[in-house]
Structure 1
Amino acid sequence: MENILEVHQLSKHFGKKQALNNVDFTVGKGRIVGLIGPNGAGKTTIMKAILGLFSYEKGQIKIDNHPVSEASHQALAKVGALIEYPAIYPYLTGLDHLKLNATGDATTERIDQLVKQMKMESYINRKAKNYSLGMKQKLGIALALINQPELVILDEPMNGLDPQATKDLRDVIMSQAAAGTSFLISSHILSELEKLVSEVVIIDHGEVIKQATIANLNHQENDFIMLKTSDDAAARTSLAQVGITTAEAPGLVFNQTPSATLALVIKTLVKADIDIYDVVHQGEDLEASLLSILHNEKKEA
């Protein structure tokens, strides 16, 4: 498959802290790729590097086989992006923003079509200072899409969107991907991301742990169980003493194996006088797969 984006051996320090370490992944043309990992793993830093927003010490970024760096931006003409928060002028209308940013031919037709697709008709002529968080987010996404880019980079695009707006966004992204547009999307809402992406790049501590299709991830043989207890910190310590490692997540998450069973966990916690408030079996979904990979990485470290 031909790639629209190639990131090779990318490394970056902020002072003494290594933010990225030999990051290596690709995005194929017409593919929707999720960039996932814990908070602070380096996802936004990677996206900013792709957009040439800062220099990096080592590695290479190519968009459609053209290099991108802080001093070389030509390939970014093919890219649309929303990173963190949309840059919006409060006293301009949504329509003003789109007109200001639209380039090329048939801008009026493209704007009208995108406003309709994003279902922004009811407020597009209002000043942006009166927009809700969700309205601003949709406008930011529309600005990323308005010039029909070949690659779209979206950082937490579902932020502030209600369920209907989230579905509408999903429909727009999937429609554009079917027409050949590529997407790199970071989101902590894994249940929604899973409905969109064809593959994921998993990053932790500034390193790519795995790049795989959703189908391959979800065929891993894992049986994850999440517990909520009266004292998660004490529970984690007690379980570690009997050889059961828990992932760093809200509550306690562990992979049930023949030597680490739910029965043993309950017995250990009862003996430690720790109450169990809830037990939830994690299905084979993107969240469970991510927890599994991070869990195994921690064990091997």
Structure 2
Amino acid sequence: MADAILTVNHLNKSYRHQPVLRDVSFECAQGHIVGLVGANGAGKTTIMKAVLGLIKADGDIRITGTTMQFDHHPILTVVGALIEYPSSYPYMSGWDNLRLFADGLDAQARISTVVSALNMSSYIHQKARHYSLGMKQKLGVALAFLNKPQLVILDEPMNGLDPQGTKELRDFILKEKQAGVTFLISSHILSELQKLADDLVVIDHGRIIKKTTMTALLATTDHFLVITTDHDGQAKTILTTAGYQVVAGPIVKVHLAPADQVADVLSVLTSHGIAVTDVQHADADLESTILKLLAVTSA
């Protein structure tokens, strides 16, 4: 990938002879949001720590073409990161925490921009020790964006955020992406990752089991037909008897196989005197797709 900002090749890591990462290789293209997905303990945070030079690992890691080394990594001046829990100086205000790490003559302007974008103005001058979990999370995210990074690595960035805070962060990430910033994001909130990620790296027990785009992965998901009728209970029985897979639940939701035609499904119902009042298409979401993929690989 010619425009890769981050390249990870054959990354391996063990703790006490127990393999944690196994031959991990992937790339992050410039201006892309890459989602790192897997169960707890799969190795996502370990990958991020290795990329940032926080832990030793075997393999080759390059950021903007420069090889990362555990004991020498000046290239991190172009990287912003939030790994695990955000840290701050509790007896300093949020603003002073940001000012402490801001570089350059336009530091004040950049602090103001990120504070405004994340809607932190009402509490940014309070001491950080009084912050809620969500406030601390926003402060950690603000620190990651502070010095105009080319690459931002975020580990569970939505932790502790309410719906409004989540939307503000999502909008900010998408805006930075449009400006050319590259992201590597790990999140267990897959519904949010679905709204953000261009590419996906799925990891299980330290191995990458899938590298794909969000569009390509969702194109392989299950498709359903949600039908409203005048007798839903009867409709379910009729469709099941006809050989269709009906999803359990209060609504009439039919799994639509590639060979199934919508007209045929509806015809089965109308031929039995069931009146169809509404028909909608629905696709499986990212969460169900990833769970299905993990289940297949672990079987």
Structures share fold, TM-score greater than 0.5: yes
The CA distance in 1 between the partners of 2:168 and 2:115, in whole Å, is 12
The CA distance in 1 between the partners of 2:256 and 2:203, in whole Å, is 24
Gaps of 5+ in 2: 225-254, 258-281
RMSD of the alignment, in Å?
Answer: 1.8
Task: Say which SS state the counterpart of residue 134 (structure 1) adopts.
Answer: helix
Where do residues 64-143 of structure 1 align in structure 2 (5 Å cutoff)? 64-143=64-143
Q: Give the TM-score of the pair, scaled to structure 1.
A: 0.78
Q: Percent identity?
A: 51
- Give 1 or 2 for the bigger CA radius of gyration: 2
Quote the offset at 1:223 in angstroms.
Answer: 6.7
- Contact map agreement 1:222 1:292 (CA 8 A) in 2: no
The CA distance in 1 between the partners of 2:204 and 2:20, in whole Å, is 10
Task: Say which SS state the counterpart of residue 54 (structure 1) adopts.
Answer: coil
The CA distance in 2 between the partners of 1:197 and 1:89, in whole Å, is 32
Quote the offset at 1:105 in angstroms.
Answer: 2.6
Task: Say which SS state the counterpart of residue 289 (structure 2) adopts.
Answer: helix
Could you say which residue in structure 2 is the equivalent of 1:40? 41
The CA distance in 1 between the partners of 2:116 and 2:89, in whole Å, is 22
Task: Say which SS state the counterpart of residue 121 (structure 2) adopts.
Answer: coil
- Contact map agreement 1:34 1:193 (CA 8 A) in 2: yes
The CA distance in 2 between the partners of 1:161 and 1:141, in whole Å, is 11
Quote the offset at 1:293 in angstroms.
Answer: 1.6
The CA distance in 2 between the partners of 1:89 and 1:283, in whole Å, is 45
- Contact map agreement 2:221 2:283 (CA 8 A) in 1: no
The CA distance in 2 between the partners of 1:201 and 1:101, in whole Å, is 31
The CA distance in 2 between the partners of 1:288 and 1:2, in whole Å, is 32
- Residue identity opposite 1:180 in structure 2: G
The CA distance in 1 between the partners of 2:298 and 2:86, in whole Å, is 35
Superposed CA offset, 1:150-180 (max 9, x none)? 0000000000000000000000000001000
Gaps of 5+ in 1: 225-254, 258-281
The CA distance in 1 between the partners of 2:223 and 2:167, in whole Å, is 29
Task: Say which SS state the counterpart of residue 54 (structure 2) adopts.
Answer: coil
- Residue identity opposite 1:108 in structure 2: Q
Q: Give the TM-score of the pair, scaled to structure 2.
A: 0.79
- Residue identity opposite 1:95 in structure 2: W
- Contact map agreement 1:54 1:69 (CA 8 A) in 2: no
The CA distance in 1 between the partners of 2:72 and 2:163, in whole Å, is 39
The CA distance in 1 between the partners of 2:292 and 2:178, in whole Å, is 31
- Contact map agreement 1:144 1:152 (CA 8 A) in 2: yes
The CA distance in 1 between the partners of 2:123 and 2:209, in whole Å, is 42
Could you say which residue in structure 2 is the equivalent of 1:184? 184
Quote the offset at 1:292 in angstroms.
Answer: 2.3
Quote the offset at 1:256 in angstroms.
Answer: 11
Determine if the alignment matches structure 1 residue 10 to structure 2 residue 29.
Answer: no
- Contact map agreement 1:152 1:181 (CA 8 A) in 2: yes
Superposed CA offset, 1:49-85 (max 9, x none)? 00001111x3100000101121231211110000001
Could you say which residue in structure 2 is the equivalent of 1:50? 51
The CA distance in 2 between the partners of 1:100 and 1:220, in whole Å, is 47
Could you say which residue in structure 1 is the equivalent of 2:250? none
Quote the offset at 1:103 in angstroms.
Answer: 0.5
- Contact map agreement 2:198 2:214 (CA 8 A) in 1: yes
In structure 2, the CA distance between the partners of 1:35 and 1:221, relative to structure 1 (3 Å rule), is: closer
Could you say which residue in structure 2 is the equivalent of 1:24? 25
Could you say which residue in structure 2 is the equivalent of 1:248? none
Where do residues 133-282 of structure 1 align in structure 2 (5 Å cutoff)? 133-222=133-222
The number of equivalent residue pairs is 245
